[in-house]
């Protein structure tokens, strides 16, 4: 409808607020349609902001890209599309997309609203994405009258505590994994320094998450094949010999945090481009800091 406005014409929505004596600071205008004149829309948004109202983009992530609209309008709030959010809460690639959208929103100063929160798992995923607000049947269905301001405080306190306990359990698993990796590093470094053949490396059933290990020099160039346990034996995969990994985020974390103390450093989880698995890389300098032992771990469930 903004294309029908004359230049400088008073905005009907702001006139309604004035007629009902409503402070615009209490109002969020949601932009839902993808069509229309972007320049005219930007002008209207500027007038809303001048009046003190805030701007939200609704159904973000639905259909084709709205990134250009986000960059042009710089909304205060992004409301994640309900179908996209609910699919993402189940895991898989869509969850990575939603997390990326949430990170983008945070970096551009937007707040995230997760729509369609109907289960505790969906609430937990919304909290992981940094959602400032949630709405959905987990709390209540829409009603004609306003809810009291504290209507959901006690209910959310219980759910929040369960979420915190879940995150503490996850952290506990990471701490246990770190201890296991320290032990594994000692075994593998002992085998490397002894210069024994691959068939002398024992099977390591106590470390079921181990995917592969390999060595790099301190500049990130891979010195050895990838060693993997396959078909009841250690196998060497030499495809990555000579590749340089210094551009990967975990490598400069190792340089920054692990060089002086020679301690085991864990990366954040990521999806491996070759196997499509969720992975975590652990690294530790050894041999007087001249070499780096890297271990890739299956991070699913962590």
Q: What is the pLDDT of residue 33?
A: 65
- Please tell me the distance from the alpha carbon of residue 223 to that of residue 124, in angstroms, as a whole number: 42
Domains defined for the chain, CATH in brackets: 2-142 (3.20.20.450), 173-298 (3.30.450.20)
Predicted confidence band of residue 144 (pLDDT cuts 50, 70, 90): very high
Structure-block tokens of residue 19? 């007629």
pLDDT of residue 258: 65
Instruction: Give me the pLDDT at residue 169, please.
Output: 92
Which tokens in the block code for residue 31? 């932009």
Query: CA torsion sign, 162 to 167 to 172 to 176?
Result: positive
- 234 has which bridge partners? 229
Section 157-169 average pLDDT: 95
CB 182 within 8 A of CB 264: yes
Residue 133: both structure tokens together: 């607000």
Q: For residue 21, what are its two tokens?
A: 């004596």
Least confident residue range of 48-62, 117-131, 164-178, 254-268:
254-268
- Where would I find the H helices in the chain? 12-19, 38-51, 67-73, 82-88, 93-107, 120-128, 153-194, 249-253
Nearest to 25 by CA among 35, 14, 34: 14
The pLDDT value recorded for residue 260 is: 67
């Amino acid at each position: 409808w903004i294309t029908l406005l004359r230049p400088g014409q008073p905005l009907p929505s702001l006139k309604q607020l004035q007629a009902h004596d409503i402070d615009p600071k209490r109002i969020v205008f949601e932009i839902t349609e993808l069509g229309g004149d972007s320049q005219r829309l930007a002008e209207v948004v500027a007038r809303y902001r001048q009046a003190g109202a805030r701007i939200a983009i609704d159904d973000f992530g639905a259909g084709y890209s709205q990134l250009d609209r986000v960059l042009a309008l710089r909304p205060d709030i992004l409301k994640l599309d309900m179908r996209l959010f609910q699919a993402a809460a189940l895991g898989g690639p869509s969850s990575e997309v939603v997390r990326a959208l949430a990170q983008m929103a945070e970096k551009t100063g937007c707040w995230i609203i997760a729509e369609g929160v109907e289960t505790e798992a969906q609430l937990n995923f919304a909290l992981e994405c940094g959602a400032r607000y949630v709405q959905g049947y987990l709390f209540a269905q829409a009603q004609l009258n306003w809810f009291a301001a504290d209507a959901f405080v006690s209910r959310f306190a219980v759910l929040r505590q369960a979420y915190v306990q879940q995150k503490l359990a996850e952290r506990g698993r990471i701490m246990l994994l770190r201890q296991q990796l320290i032990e594994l590093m000692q075994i593998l470094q002992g085998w490397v320094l002894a210069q024994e053949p691959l068939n002398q490396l024992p099977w390591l059933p106590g470390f079921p998450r181990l995917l592969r290990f390999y060595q790099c020099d301190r500049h990130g160039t891979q010195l050895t094949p990838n060693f993997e346990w396959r078909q009841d034996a250690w196998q060497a995969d030499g495809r990555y010999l000579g590749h340089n990994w210094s551009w990967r985020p975990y490598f400069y974390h190792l340089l920054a945090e692990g060089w002086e103390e020679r301690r085991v450093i864990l990366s954040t989880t990521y999806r491996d481009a070759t196997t499509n698995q969720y992975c975590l890389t652990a690294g530790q300098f050894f041999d007087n800091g001249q070499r780096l032992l890297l271990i890739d771990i299956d991070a699913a469930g962590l």
